[in-house]
Each structure stands twice: as structure tokens, then as C-alpha cells.
Chain A
Amino acid sequence: MMNRIHNPLAVATAAAVLVFATSFAGEAQAGREVKNNTRTSVNKNVNANRNVNVNQNVNKNVNVNANRHVDIDVDVDRDHRHPIGTAVAVGATVAVTSAIIGSTVYALPPACVPVVIGNVMYQQCGGVWYQPQYVGTSVQYIVINPPR
């Protein structure tokens, strides 16, 4: 499986990445936003130009769950027009109680636990629950009421 880190060096790297990502919080992630316009096929029927060049963070979302999973989702998360403030707040602070139900983020806070309920995937991050959603080939997370 790709989702476990076995060697200490990799863990150290993951931790460093996490710090890096956190240090960006509050700085509007200057220079870290990626456009999503590079075409990978010619035919316009299968690669419509959606012009979604807004707030696409090079997302170093490293979900280090101590001795469990290390979900190394280092997607260039092709996020689509969600309020950048939300992501910054979640990434920057531990004030997770302020997460608004229904708001969308493209990075989970650290130390989330994936929970599968009735085949459906959720992420529990402290007291806040997120439901992942595919947006194109990207992943976003919606803050939800606790499913259980």
C-alpha cells in the first residue's frame, strides 16, 4: 500500500512539509496557487477549457496520524473557487470549532482519522467532520454534521 510511511526519513519529510504548509497560512499562500489550464488532450469534447484558475493551492495536505495512516495526498489540488479564507483558517489555527457546516476546504487539518460508515468515506478531525468530494479529478472536503 502506498499509504504507509515505513522509514523515519519519510516521516521527517512529511512533518517538514506540514510545517511548511502551516507557515503559509495567513499569507494568502502567495505564489502557491496553481492554475488549471494545461490541456492534456486536443479534442475539446473531452477537455473543455473551464478556466478554473482560482485559488489552486499546491496542497501539501499531509495527514499524519501518528502510527496509523499517513495519507500522503500531495495533490496539486485543483480546487475551484472556494473562499480562500476558509482554507487558511483551517490550516492555520486549531480553532476548529469555528468550522462552518457546509463550507468547503481543499486541505484537511492535521491528525484526521478516516472513517468509513456504510461504505461512505468521512474524515474526523478532532470534533469536526469532513466529507470528501471529487471535483473533477481533485478532492475537496465539506464540513458536515457528525454522521454518527
Chain B
Amino acid sequence: MNIDRWGRHGTSARGRRDRQGHWAGALLAIALFAGAGTALAQPAAPAVAGTRDARAMEALTGMGAYLRSLKTFAVHADTVTDEVLTTGQKLQFAGSVDYLVQTPNRFRADVRNDRRERRFIYDGKTVTMYAPRMQYYGTVAAPATIAEALVVADQNYGISLPLADLFLWGTDKAGLEDIKEAQYIGPAKIGGKACDHFAFRQEGVDWQLWIQPGARPLPCKIVITTTAEPAQPQYAALLTWNTAPKIDKGSFAFVPPKGTGKVDFAPAAAIKN
């Protein structure tokens, strides 16, 4: 709506410039700029398409900074994932994700659902993916930080770790510039705990985030709606945090159990084709 309004002003500005020259045009531009500033500064305005509510963006930034301040953490997620059949029918699969993390360069992730079980281990040098039911494992070289390793895993091998955002928020790769709309929805209860509910839109996904208020702004829940897909499947994760997990020497080491065998990864290029 704002853009429409500004668009009409823009047409008008061009008309005046024609009559009165650049000086008047410049004055008008200043007036418009001031007007826009006033509009954005209005508190508690209802969310308007195309706007990024400052409170929502600040909450995201604050949560990111807090996440990056954690040296170790464990997070358990109860997940629900829609899968879309080619007929358009949606199926829902329950699952879980368990991350054990030691920054900047160790994590273990156990990702389970009704159909699939995978363990990922990153030790600062390699990422290993282990399929316990089939007893397969594969290992690839990885860069020196968790965030970089996640990017390489996805872009080189097509391995998308769920909830990878948890490692990118609060970094320069957070992707905040991709957010087109942001709004604060209101207070909420997640698992009996008070959390603030925010909603965001960007290309390909609408997403919602619930954040614990106060000095430890951890995400309570995330829901991602894939709008690029006509059936709009959703992924929902309810998060339980432990910021003082027990970590031992073997936590981030993969020792292939007896009977397991190595398999190779296809390059991501092969997946795209």
C-alpha cells in the first residue's frame, strides 16, 4: 500500500519537475523522504504488506546475538513435516531433531522421522552422514566452522540439515536482507511457556517464530511454510533447549560400528539435473 501511495506521488513529482525544474523536484524528494520516515516511525501500526516491523526485526537480531553467545548447547526439536505427493495430497510425518553443539566447529545431529533416520557428525574437518538402519556412512571434507560446513553440505552435496538457521542467525549470513515483511503477532504460550509470536515473509517461504522474552531470547518454535510449492507444505519444530549440555570426548567422533560400510555422496550438481 505504501508503495502504491509513493508510486502516485512519484508520478506527480515528475510532472512538477517538468514545470519547475530540478530545484522543486529536490524539495519534493526531501518532503517525501520525511513523510516516509514519519509513516515508518508510527508505533503499533497494523502490519502493512511490504513492511518490516522494527520490533520483529530487533527480536530476530537479539535472538541471533544470544544464540551466537552460546559456547555449547543442545536443542531437541519435535518436528512435523508435510510431504506433498505428486497428486497434490499432503502427508504429515512426525519426527525429531537433536543437535549437540560446541562452537565454533563441532556438532552432532540426530534427525529422525517415520521414514528415515540419519546422524550427522561434524568434527571441524569433515561431515559424516550415518544411516543407522542401513548401516551406511559417508564422509566429506568440510570447512572450519559450523556455518560454513552447513553451506558446503547443502551447496556441494545437497544435504540440507534441518533448522540450519539456528547456526546462521546472528552472523553476516543470516539472510535478514531477504525478509520482505516482518510483524509482531502477539504473546503466546508454547508448551506452557510464554513466548512472543512473530511472522515473516520472504521469497519462497513464509515463516513464523516464537521467541522466549527476556534476557535469554531463545527460539521456542518455528514454522516454515514453503510458498514456492502450490500445496504450501509446512515444517514445524517445537524446541527444547539445554545451554549446559554434557559433552565428552566421543561426542563428536564417528567410529563406524561393526558391519557398517562406506558410501559415496553424489555431487549436488547431479541432484539439480
Contacts of A89 in B (CB 8 A): none
| Contact, CB under 8 Å: B136 / A75 | no
Chain B residues numbered 182-207 whose CB sits less than 8 Å from any CB in chain A = 200, 202, 204-205, 207
Known contacts being A46-B164, A133-B266, is A121 close to B135, with CB within 8 Å? yes
Contacts of A136 in B (CB 8 A): 157-160, 266, 268, 271
**B129 CB–A CB distance under 8 Å:** yes
**B118 CB–A CB distance under 8 Å:** yes
- Please, which residue of chain B has its CB at the minimum distance from the CB of A34? B83
Chain B residues numbered 218-249 whose CB sits less than 8 Å from any CB in chain A = 224, 226, 228-229, 233-235
| Contact, CB under 8 Å: A114 / B261 | yes
**Cβ of B110 to closest chain A Cβ, rounded Å:** 12
Contact flags A39-50 to B (C-beta < 8 A → 1, else 0):
111111111111
Contacts of B256 in A (CB 8 A): 119
**Cβ of A142 to closest chain B Cβ, rounded Å:** 10
Point out the residue from A40, A43, A71, A122 that lies within 8 Å of B174, measured CB to CB. Answer: A43
Contacts of B118 in A (CB 8 A): 137
Contacts of B8 in A (CB 8 A): none
Contacts of A133 in B (CB 8 A): 263-266
* Whole-angstrom CA separation of A136 from B120 in the bound complex: 12
| Contact, CB under 8 Å: A43 / B175 | yes
**Cβ of B20 to closest chain A Cβ, rounded Å:** 45
Max count, chain B CB within 10 A of own CB: residue among A31, A47, A122: A47
Known contacts being A76-B116, A121-B136, A136-B157, is A43 close to B263, with CB within 8 Å? no
| Contact, CB under 8 Å: A42 / B202 | yes
* Whole-angstrom CA separation of A76 from B91 in the bound complex: 11
| Contact, CB under 8 Å: A121 / B262 | yes
| Contact, CB under 8 Å: B263 / A132 | yes
| Contact, CB under 8 Å: B115 / A49 | no
| Contact, CB under 8 Å: B117 / A2 | yes
Point out the residue from A48, A74, A119, A120 that lies within 8 Å of B115, measured CB to CB. Answer: A74
| Contact, CB under 8 Å: B229 / A40 | no
| Contact, CB under 8 Å: A38 / B261 | no
**A135 CB–B CB distance under 8 Å:** yes
9-residue interface stretch from B10-18, B30-38, B148-156:
B148-156
**B1 CB–A CB distance under 8 Å:** no
Known contacts being A34-B85, A133-B263, is A75 close to B116, with CB within 8 Å? yes
* Whole-angstrom CA separation of A38 from B166 in the bound complex: 18
* Whole-angstrom CA separation of A136 from B136 in the bound complex: 14
**A21 CB–B CB distance under 8 Å:** no
> B interface vs A, CB < 8 Å?
81-87, 89, 91, 93, 111, 114-118, 129, 131-136, 138, 150-151, 153-155, 157-165, 168, 173-175, 178, 200, 202, 204-205, 207, 224, 226, 228-229, 233-235, 256, 259-266, 268, 270-273
**What are 18 of the A-B contact pairs (CB < 8 Å)?**
A31-B86, A34-B83, A34-B85, A35-B229, A38-B229, A45-B154, A46-B150, A49-B204, A50-B268, A53-B86, A56-B86, A58-B85, A73-B134, A74-B116, A121-B136, A134-B157, A136-B157, A139-B136
Given contacts A43-B175, A134-B266, A136-B160, 20 further A-B contacts (CB under 8 A): A34-B91, A42-B205, A42-B207, A46-B150, A50-B158, A50-B268, A58-B85, A71-B133, A71-B135, A73-B131, A74-B116, A75-B115, A76-B83, A76-B93, A81-B273, A132-B263, A133-B265, A134-B264, A137-B118, A137-B160
Instruction: Kindly list the 10 A-B residue pairs having the minimum CB-CB distance in the complex, ordered from nearest.
Output: A121-B261, A136-B158, A40-B162, A46-B164, A116-B261, A38-B233, A41-B164, A33-B86, A76-B115, A37-B229
> A interface vs B, CB < 8 Å?
1-3, 30-35, 37-50, 52-53, 56, 58, 71-76, 80-81, 114, 116, 119-122, 131-137, 139-140
